[in-house]
Amino acid sequence: MKDRKTLLAAVAFLVVAVLYQFVYLPGKKQLRSLRDAVDRKTADLARLEDMCRQYAQTKEGSSSQTVATVPDNFSLLQFIGNCIDTTGVRDNIREVKPLPESRTAGMLQERVTCVVENITLEKVCELMQTLQGSGKPVYIPTFRLKKNREKPFLLTVEFETVVLKGQPASLR
């Protein structure tokens, strides 16, 4: 009878140890990683909402529809290279490709596409703020974000930048 109680206690202890090892600990680790992911996503959402508010404020402040141009000696390619160096994403650049220049309303339109891989959302924001906060009238008509499948916290960003050179036809 005593051997049976000892055996039953040993089996119960073994069952509890196996449940602890293979059910409780992995569940606890997964719960912790989920909480961390939720915290990161909440911080990203707060930053995105803040950026949307800032954009709405700047859009309200600049209600005039004037076309901003750059001087004729301005190089968009060099400007983008300087912004890339400033933000420190040179290692992540996959492609910087100048597109053919075109004429629109008597102005020369210079366009460059950029593809940046394995970059965090924070670095994307920093790069965009560097591009738009420079005081140069750089337009970003195309912007795409794609999540990395292996590392979901990294992104692939593809965007096009445009500057206009010269004076609009109506102002000549």
pLDDT at 172 exceeding the cut of 50? no
SS3 call for 88: coil
What is the spatial distance between Cα 77 and Cα 148, in angstroms, rounded to a whole number?
A: 27
Q: What is the DSSP string of 11-62?
A: HHHHHHHHHIIIIIHHHHHHHHHHHHHHHHHHHHHHHHHHHHHHHHHHHHH-
pLDDT of residue 80: 92
Residue with tokens 């000696």: 73
- The band of 12, judged by pLDDT with boundaries at 50, 70 and 90, is very high
pLDDT of residue 63: 54
**Amino acid letter at 134?**
S
Q: What is the pLDDT of residues 151-168, one digit of tens each?
A: 888 999 999 999 998 776
pLDDT at 65 exceeding the cut of 70? no
pLDDT at 15 exceeding the cut of 80? yes
pLDDT at 100 exceeding the cut of 50? yes
- The band of 39, judged by pLDDT with boundaries at 50, 70 and 90, is very high
Mean pLDDT of 9-23: 91
Mean pLDDT of 60-84: 81
- The band of 121, judged by pLDDT with boundaries at 50, 70 and 90, is confident
Average per-residue pLDDT for the chain: 87
